[in-house]
Amino acid sequence: MNCLLLSLLFITIIEQVYGRFVTFSLITFGNEASVTFGGKTLPLKRIDNYSNVHSATGICPDEEFEYTYSVDGKPEGFSRVLPVNALTTHNEFFGRKDTIRPLKGLGYPENKPRWTRSIGKTSLFDDSYIPTVIFDADSREFFKSGNDTWTLGRFTIIIKDEIFTEENVPTKAQNRYQDKFQFRIKLEKKIHKRRVFKFRSNSADPAFFRQSIYGDVAAAVGNPVHNQIVVRIYLSDGTPIGLYLMIEVTSSKSFIKTQFYGNEITEKVNAPKTLGFPLDCSTGADFIPDHSISAFQYSEGENNEKIKYLIEAMHEIDVNNEDEVKKFSKEWFDMDIFLKALALEYLTGDWDSYWMLTTNFVMYDDPTESTDKTFKYYFIDQDFDLTFGLGLSSKINTFGDEFPSQSYKTLIDRSWSIGSNDGPTREAIDLFLKGGVTTKMFENHLIDIVKHVFNPVALGRRIDEYVDRYSSEIEWDYGFEKLHIGADPNKTRYEWKYNDFVENIESTGKQSTPWGLKQWITMRAEAIAEEFDFEWDKVPLEPREIVKNTDESFNLVNNSNKNKVSSSACSVSHHSSIIFVTFISIILIGLLL
């Protein structure tokens, strides 16, 4: 009884007299950091030799209070506010005022088909937070030269409440003709069950958000699609590399496992022991009988033989027979997902895709839905950097500035042969979009997508959220010279200024596109609404909410490449407070005994 009473009295004293213990965590490339609140200044200690996170724990008031950071004697210049009941500031970035800023997303009617097999974003792709990626300073040569392949000495990513790090990470560069080139990494240890990532530079996009918006729409309408997050990248000595879009690699096994065999509520993955073979499709990948299938590229130890059986099945169905279409969709090829993907390719002018270049998609056969005689495939689009009018050549665009106002029907009966390996026809388009049940399915999906998502109201709000959140990040990215200088005389090198971003968000064309981002969306949506005689939502639909498993011991990945910033090794307590609390405890023990 005495022990219980002692515990209650002790807790009461701590709460009523001293308030709460709060952990402050700050990312900074300076040497000495501190936090000031309530007239007290608490020094922050560096928690490791790679993340540049400085942290301390102090006793703070229970009520909402203001606090400020200083680094090397220089204050941020603004105050932050810690809400009531918060016990951590999360991993804050020096100079960024809003650490957490939830973004309004895209909604879609609940009665429409949606993808429910993924583990979801997880905290890794939580877009209320802007992660920081840090590579070791010795990797400067890679970001300067843009070598094809490299081994990075150390990769570290700091997300809201966690730090992940790994040494000796292989990487591969692409688009080295741009100053800020893109690259990919493959980790040995998983980060929230993912291990292969691309860092997309968005070099051709003055508005920066085209890839992000495409991914948002695909996810909202219920298609499997990579997760994504905007990140800042630095070297460990503070050298800025740039602002990137970090995405999953769609053809990777970790993507397949988390996208097809996950539970979004628990974030668990229950994949079969033997997966299907994800095929990474390059130019020339079309569904033509008795034709080469070499463009359906497979990984080492796998094959693409089953795709031939899908192609045969495609050519056996009667698209005017609803029962046959349903049977084919259930046993062979998810038609709702495929037709929605085609709708997005058309809506965004995604010319580096199946419809316009027979490339940049993944075909995955799910063994849990296949039999000895049928192989169930899914179509997954990827790489959305050449969309919303970016780099659209005259070979595809035969309508000039009015291209976004054209019907999808202008892309049906035409000859293609856009690239050296691209054929003159589109087999799946000819099979499914020239009439019958499948054409009606496509048009219904197209109408639904424009009515609820791809319109100036819904996408306009999402873009405005991006602008509000990331404008200062883009101003930072467009404001410094990159380590690498693109120098291919046969490629266009883009150099954007912040004003290019501001103007191209709206309706001002730039070097890489005649259209602004919002302008393209408005033109496309208006043309389709007129063609099919409907109106889009006057108020955006809200996205559905997922109730997560709140058990921290489950949600935190148990990997050796993760460090919890709130761990005792990272904390520094206010010593005088601890001494006083200890003194009060001794008195209480004496009274009770």
Closest CA to 244 of 171, 192, 299, 148: 171
pLDDT at residue 556 is higher than 70? no
Question: Could you report the per-residue pLDDT of 218-262, keeping only the tens digit for each?
Answer: 999 999 999 999 999 999 999 999 999 999 999 999 999 999 999
Would you say residue 440 lies in a domain? Answer: yes
If you write DSSP's letter for every residue of 49-71 in order, what string do you get?
A: SSS-EEEEEEEE-SS-EEEEEEE
Confidence of residue 19 (pLDDT cuts 50, 70, 90): confident
In a domain, 498, yes or no: no
User: Which pLDDT value is given to residue 10?
Assistant: 53
Do residues 442 and 299 both lie within one domain?
yes
One domain, residues 571 and 445? no
Same structural domain for residues 421 and 290? yes
Using the 3D structure, point to which of 452, 482, 502 is the last residue of a domain.
Answer: 452
CATH number at residue 87: 2.60.40.10
| Chain center to CA of 311 | 32
Per-residue pLDDT at 16? 54
Q: Where would I find the H helices in 453-495?
A: 458-477
Q: Is 553 part of any domain?
A: no
Which pLDDT value is given to residue 565? 40
**Is 213 contained in some domain?**
no
Of 342, 559, 540, nearest to 452 by C-alpha is: 540
Q: What angle (nearest 5°) sits at the alpha carbon of residue 192, between those of residues 99 and 21?
A: 45
Residue 450, φ and ψ in degrees, nearest 5? -70, -40
- Out of 428, 452, 476, a domain closes at 452
396 domain-assigned: yes
Q: Please report whether residue 362 resides in a domain.
A: yes
Q: Which residue is listed with tokens 């904390």?
A: 571
pLDDT of residue 105: 98
Domain count, the chain: 2
pLDDT greater than 70 at residue 557: no
Residues 276 and 408 in one domain: yes
pLDDT value, residue 386? 98
471 part of a folded domain: no
Query: What's the pLDDT tens digit per position in 451-480?
Result: 999 999 999 999 999 999 999 999 999 999
Question: How do residues 473-485 score in pLDDT, each as one tens digit?
Answer: 999 999 999 999 9
Residue where a domain terminates, one of 401, 424, 452? 452
Classify burial at 242, counting beta carbons within 10 Å of its beta carbon; exposed 0-12, middle 13-18, buried 19 or more: buried
Q: Give 84's pLDDT tier (boundaries 50, 70, 90).
A: very high
Residue 14 DSSP one-character state: I
- Domain of 421, in residue numbers: 272-452
Element (H, E) at 19: none
Residue 17 confidence class, pLDDT cut points 50, 70, 90: low
Spatial contact of 186 and 170, defined as CB atoms under 8 Å apart: yes
- Give the per-residue pLDDT at 569: 31
State percent of the chain over pLDDT 90.
Answer: 88
In this structure, is residue 212 part of a structural domain?
Answer: no
